[in-house]
A = this chain, B = another copy of it.
Amino acid sequence: MTYCTGILVEQGLVMLGDTRTNAGLDNVSTFRKLHVYRGAGDRVLLLASAGNLSVSQSVVSLLAEGMENPDTGEVERLDSAASLFKAAQLVGRAVRSVRTIDGPGLEAANVTFDVSFLFGGQIRGGPMRLFMIYAAGNFIECGQDAPFLQIGEHKYGKPILDRAVKFSTDLYDALKIGLISMDSTMRSNLAVGLPIDIAVLRRDALEPEVVHRIEAGEPYFHDLRERWSAALRAAHMAIPRPPYEPRKS
Q: Residues of A at under 8 Å CB distance from B? A: 155-156, 158-160, 162-164, 170, 172-173, 175-177, 179-180, 184, 187-188, 198, 200, 207-212, 220, 223-224, 227-229, 231-236, 238-247, 249
Cβ B173 vs Cβ A241 within 8 A: yes
Give the number of copies in the complex.
2
CB of A218 to closest CB in B, whole Å: 10
Instruction: Tell me the smallest distance from the CB of A149 to a CB of chain B, in Å.
Output: 14
A147, chain B: closest CB distance, angstroms? 16
Given contacts A162-B188, A211-B247, A247-B208, contact A242 B220 (CB under 8 A): yes
* Distance between Cα atoms of A218 and B156 in the complex (Å): 27
Q: In the bound complex, what is the Cα–Cα distance between A229 and B239 (angstroms)?
A: 11
Q: Is the CB of B244 within 8 A of A210?
A: yes
Give Cα A176–Cα B125 distance, bound, in whole angstroms: 52
With a cutoff of 8 Å between Cβ atoms, the chain B residues found around residue A198 in the complex are 242, 244
A160 to B232, Cβ gap below 8 A?
yes
Known: A200-B244, A241-B176, A242-B176. A160 touches B208 (CB 8 A): no
Specify which of A155, A173, A177, A241 lies most central, judged by the most chain B CB atoms within 10 Å of its CB. A155
Q: Is B176 a contact of A159 with CB atoms below 8 Å?
A: no
A240: chain B residues within 8 A (beta carbon) = 220, 223
Contact call B163/A187, Cβ cutoff below 8 A: yes
Q: Are A235 and B242 in contact (CB under 8 A)?
A: no
Known contacts A207-B249, A232-B160; A155/B244 CB under 8 A: no
Contact of A231 (CB < 8 Å), options: B207, B212, B229, B231: B231
Measured CA separation A176–B158 after assembly (Å):
21
Determine the distance from Cα of A23 to Cα of B223 in the docked complex, in whole angstroms: 45
Of the residues B164, B224, B242, contact of A172 by C-beta under 8 Å: B242
CB-defined contacts of A163 to chain B, threshold 8 Å? 187, 229, 232-233
User: Is B224 touching A231 in the complex (CB atoms < 8 A)?
Assistant: no
Please pick, from B160, B162, B200, B239, the residue contacting A236 in the complex, using a CB distance under 8 A.
B160
A3 to chain B, nearest CB (A): 11
Residue among A235, A242, A244 with the most chain B CB within 10 A?
A: A242
Chain B neighbourhood of A179, CB < 8 A: 242
Contact A231 B220 (CB under 8 A): no
Identity of the chain B residue whose Cβ is nearest the Cβ of A225 in the assembled complex: B239
Q: Are A235 and B236 in contact (CB under 8 A)?
A: no
